[in-house]
Amino acid sequence: MAERLHRFRGGLELPGMKEAATASPIRVMPPPKRIVLPLSQHIGEPAKPRVAPGERVLRGQMVAAAEGVISAAIHASTSGTVVAIEDHLVPHPSGLAAPCIIIDADGRDEAIEPVPLSDWENRDAGEIRERVRDAGIVGLGGAAFPSWIKLSGNRDQPLDTLILNGAECEPCISCDDMLMRERADEVISGARIMLRALHARHCLVAVEDNKPEAAEALQAALAKFADPRIELVIVPSRYPQGGERQLIETLTGREVPHDGLPLDIGIVCHNVATAAAVHRAVVHGEPLTSRIVTVTGGGVAEPCNVEARIGTRMSELIAFCGGYRGDVARLIMGGPMMGFTLRSDDAPVIKASNCLLAGTAEEFAPRRETLPCIRCGACADACPASLLPQMLYWHTRARDFERVQEYDLFDCIECGSCDLVCPSQIPLVSHFRYAKTEIWGKNEERAKADNARRRHEARQARLEREAREQEEKRRRKLEALEKMKSGDAKKAEIAAALERAQKRKEERS
């Protein structure tokens, strides 16, 4: 149990900027007229459509199935007709379009018959995982990793602790805070289901000390369930406390191995909203068709938290919150530290959409001119991943991607702390994202080249084998011909001898 808290290295104290959106309860948005469901809104393979244009669908109906080992199913978030399966703008840093299932709502919002797994306490872990998989649940903290895989544990390492992450540390985002305040029972019920699926001994629910209402609600829920395996732990609010590795270190003092997973040290970490989604899928038989999104920033008229259907376009979400106000300089999905700019509000809400931030020019002043690095080390002091951002930056600039990897580029969680403290205004995170993309691209090219080489070698081997076989065939044919010829010669010899004998016989008579 978390007897003593530890402190992760680096990090920053940031203003919360959450008051506006937490001033009112969660608002439930009715289904919009059109739903846009990207086939890839999770980590892993895109889901495979199970419906065709023209087909009528009901809320909760699986419209695309998980494909491959790591993937997640997608469900219709209202009833209506599939009008197209085609490319549509999706919320992604690239600003590109991707395949989506587009549904025109019929306004009836009819749902499939839910099939709860109400006796889950008597079901085995596999059945619970299957339910979570079929409900299309992914990590709702923003990572969107298929949750059923993270509920599978590790045969080589017995699982000790489940951590529920309620440390919503990024400024402006408050969807988890509001969920914990208003639906704490769902979170704790989800934790109990997850404990069963994981065969874990206990669960720590971590909440930052700037969320007293959430902590109070969770405490009341814990008293109601009276499950001694679950404990609420209040952690200091320090960015990025909600980072998985940072939270694990704070709670246990243990570090996740550099190239390993929390599972390697007997820990699994899930977001509180994921736990609530697991509760709904198991206890009520409801697949994931909606999520809470924080809609905030100076550019939105009524900042609040909205439970919106997955697939609702951002423009409609903003309209539901009173529309735009003033000059909106940037529309961001996520928070100001780790979010990314949306090219248009035509992109839909996806499972990973925790926040929509409409920032004014005042809130997002244009970046000042970038100056040379003065080697002050402030970035390294702020880095929660114990990296040397200035070294990463220099080697990225020099395009020395080998060296960048030696400096553990892939341990960078892109938290933006180094960016924020850099006196030279260097956009460090953009450089690190660029370096990662380059390395992934090169690795992909190398993998493609290796595959091509393997294919070429296999083809060569096949051609050589075929040539050998042909040669052998030709040789056998020649041999047969020879034999045949020699057989014919013998026959001719016998015929000639018979002819000679006949002749002699005729001469004598």
Binding site for ligand SF4 (CB under 6 A): 373-379, 382-385, 387, 389-390, 393, 412-418, 421-424, 426, 428-429, 432
Written as six digits, the tokens of 188 are 């704790």
Cα four-point dihedral sign 204, 205, 211, 212: negative
What values do phi and psi take at 506, rounded to 5? -65, -40
**Which pairing describes strands 27-28 and 304-309: parallel, antiparallel, or unpaired?**
parallel
Taking the complex as a whole, the smallest distance from the CB of residue 15 to ligand SF4 amounts, in Å, to: 18
* Structural contact between residues 203 and 161, judged by C-beta atoms closer than 8 angstroms: yes
Taking the complex as a whole, the smallest distance from the CB of residue 375 to ligand SF4 amounts, in Å, to: 5
Taking the complex as a whole, the smallest distance from the CB of residue 191 to ligand SF4 amounts, in Å, to: 29
Instruction: Give, for 332, the enclosing helix (H) or strand (E).
Output: strand 328-333
Taking the complex as a whole, the smallest distance from the CB of residue 398 to ligand SF4 amounts, in Å, to: 14
* Closest listed residue to residue 315, CA positions, set 33, 94, 507, 25: 33
- Nearer Cβ to ligand SF4 (362/411): 411
- Nearer Cβ to ligand SF4 (285/427): 427
The C-alpha atoms of residue 272 and residue 162 are separated, in whole angstroms, by 11
Beta bridge partners of 85: 101
70: left (phi over 0), alpha (psi -120 to 50) or beta: beta
- Nearer Cβ to ligand SF4 (133/431): 431
- What b/e string do you get for 1-21 counting C-beta neighbours within 10 Å, with b at 16 or more? ebeeeeebebbbebebbbebb
Taking the complex as a whole, the smallest distance from the CB of residue 195 to ligand SF4 amounts, in Å, to: 31
Tokens 């969920």 belong to 179
- Nearer Cβ to ligand SF4 (46/243): 243
Taking the complex as a whole, the smallest distance from the CB of residue 43 to ligand SF4 amounts, in Å, to: 19
- Nearer Cβ to ligand SF4 (90/247): 247
- Nearer Cβ to ligand SF4 (269/321): 269
* Closest listed residue to residue 393, CA positions, set 432, 346, 352: 432
Taking the complex as a whole, the smallest distance from the CB of residue 359 to ligand SF4 amounts, in Å, to: 20
- For the CA atoms of the chain, what is the radius of gyration? 33
Contacts of 363 (CB under 8 A, 6+ apart): 297, 298, 299, 329
**Sheet hosting strand 161-166, strand order edge to edge:** 230-235, 202-208, 161-166, 267-271
Report helix, strand and coil shares of the chain as percent, to nearest 5: 40, 20, 40
Taking the complex as a whole, the smallest distance from the CB of residue 418 to ligand SF4 amounts, in Å, to: 3
- Nearer Cβ to ligand SF4 (272/383): 383
Taking the complex as a whole, the smallest distance from the CB of residue 381 to ligand SF4 amounts, in Å, to: 9
- Nearer Cβ to ligand SF4 (72/422): 422
Taking the complex as a whole, the smallest distance from the CB of residue 424 to ligand SF4 amounts, in Å, to: 4
- Nearer Cβ to ligand SF4 (371/497): 371
Tokens 């206890």 belong to 283
The C-alpha atoms of residue 134 and residue 462 are separated, in whole angstroms, by 44
- Nearer Cβ to ligand SF4 (397/491): 397
